[in-house]
Structure 1
């Protein structure tokens, strides 16, 4: 019998676990549940004899992947998958998938919420501003960015985008595509970052780009901290006292923000973009369905390691 491990230090909502389990058991699979584990040893033991695993932010490094002697597929319930060692999985002939788009609306709503929070001076009682009439710049144009566009347009914003790979898709829905990242940052009142933490995107938010910001701009990062060059961000915030940084991930230099930029930043205590009941359910169900499709039909549509 095919064994599927659900390994989550941050568990799925009970209703999501129930639906995931129903999908897998209906397919004739055995389900092993490992929740809120505090030691890696527990994960190593649990993965030892399973055929598949569904995870969230759980770390599947080389040691864990090699401990899974029968492991054929790992599905990260969510868009990001930097918590899985892709080269190690490929070497072990293990397929790694994500569930793109399932958390997109949840993350987009958080991005808009943080932008509003920044404009309203952190709800401190100081006079703030409104979204309507301002220009929102999308740094990247994946599933989350497309949902941010939908919401921002409803708020009466002008939306522009910089993307290398989705120019036609952006233009087709009426988005103005800038010629460069520098142009995007120069023309935007609010920047919303939506690029993965890999390749050319690592530290792409650098001083060369940030220096084009207007003073008074707001940067919203619901992606990963690795896409921002943190020393460069600190430098530009020192030079431009009106810039704010709102992030769904605490930067490594958080102590400098606390020391230097009171009232100009906000960091969620934990990455919260996908922390809604709806996103939780959508991503978990998609992960279970992808595992069944993989074993029953050889479907590798959402594979992220080649």
Structure 2
């Protein structure tokens, strides 16, 4: 019987019970846990792996070159910035993610940050606990209805957020060069340029994936365009915002504040200037999390391995579509398998 070695390069969970549950019907799969941090550690653990499940450990071109027989790499979560996609594609390795596991969670968290900042909830809480019972510490607060929310990116999560804010009376703009304008209009959202969004929106919510084209896309130029009472929210990836430019904009009063679930370097360093700013809300990259989302993400990441190794199919959530030019697999028939996980 063919035996398949599946290595989990790294994880931050208490166990691998959901992954084990997905693999348990298949005696041919051997799940090998590792806790890699460096390229060399990944190579040592994965050189002879048939499949890899990855969280944060680097899957660089150097690592991929050392993989002797890997057919698929799946990643916990949406982003695949830990993996060199070009190198994997050239070697015929399928890359899969889990793009749909936490849409409501992240949209809810972005909305919570918006409401918390605009109503000054965390600031009021802090001062009240310091026995400063005075509404004036929150001034100014502006009515939310009638203001404009600008979404940077208009994928599934910002679409969900746009739907959630409708009852609040917000006007919604979005910047997404890949999304059809007529489809956005059907959702009650107007597509605009990034410059127009930054100069118009009262709240800028960032939802762009991290890639070469988006790294630092919100920088000094964009902050210069924003109004002084604008706030910026980020629940995507920290490096999409030029953090030095953000700090400067906050210190110089170019914008009113920020609410961030992600930063450039995580965890945030102890002496970071953002930590001492009353007009900044920070949460520890938790927007994705609920108990249900965690189970779904981990189970679907494991199922992507099953798609390839057991069924000889392209994974349902194939990221590098051009790998089809390098490796021939069957079209995915994974609908029922995934439905059982949700």
Same fold at TM > 0.5 = yes
Q: Distance in 1 between matches of 2:264 and 2:301?
A: 29
Q: Contact (CA 8 Å) 1:20, 1:285: kept in 2 or not? A: yes
1:87 match = 86
2:7 match = 5
**How far 1:185 moved relative to its partner?**
1.6
Count of residues in correspondence between the two structures? 300
**How far 1:256 moved relative to its partner?**
5.8
1:221 match = 234
Aligned with residue 308 of structure 2, among 290, 294, 301: 294
**How far 1:20 moved relative to its partner?**
2.7
Return closer, same or farther for 1:276/1:8 CA change in 2, 3 Å cut-off. farther
1:211 match = 224
Alignment of structure 1 residues 235-254 onto 2, 5 Å: 235-240=248-253, 243-251=256-264
Alignment root-mean-square deviation, CA: 2.7
Q: Distance in 2 between matches of 1:210 and 1:273?
A: 24
Once the two structures are superposed, what CA deviation does each residue of 1:248-280 show, in whole Å capped at 9, x if it has no partner? 223469756348x621223334x2222322221
**How far 1:63 moved relative to its partner?**
4.0
Q: Distance in 2 between matches of 1:138 and 1:258?
A: 22
TM-score after normalising by structure 2: 0.77
Once the two structures are superposed, what CA deviation does each residue of 1:50-71 show, in whole Å capped at 9, x if it has no partner? 2111222332223433443221
Mind listing any 5+ residue stretches in structure 2 that lack a counterpart?
Answer: 125-136, 323-342
SS of aligned partner of 1:201: coil
Q: Distance in 2 between matches of 1:281 and 1:200?
A: 31
Q: Contact (CA 8 Å) 1:247, 1:268: kept in 2 or not? A: yes
Return closer, same or farther for 1:244/1:31 CA change in 2, 3 Å cut-off. farther
TM-score after normalising by structure 1: 0.85
**How far 1:96 moved relative to its partner?**
1.3
2:273 match = 257
**How far 1:188 moved relative to its partner?**
1.4
2:339 match = none
Mind listing any 5+ residue stretches in structure 1 that lack a counterpart?
Answer: none
Return closer, same or farther for 1:265/1:298 CA change in 2, 3 Å cut-off. same
Q: Contact (CA 8 Å) 1:138, 1:159: kept in 2 or not? A: yes
**How far 1:246 moved relative to its partner?**
1.8
Q: Contact (CA 8 Å) 1:116, 1:130: kept in 2 or not? A: no
1:124 match = 123
Between stretches 117-126 and 246-255, larger displacement belongs to 246-255
Between stretches 131-140 and 94-103, larger displacement belongs to 131-140
Higher Cα Rg, which structure: 2
Return closer, same or farther for 1:72/1:198 CA change in 2, 3 Å cut-off. same
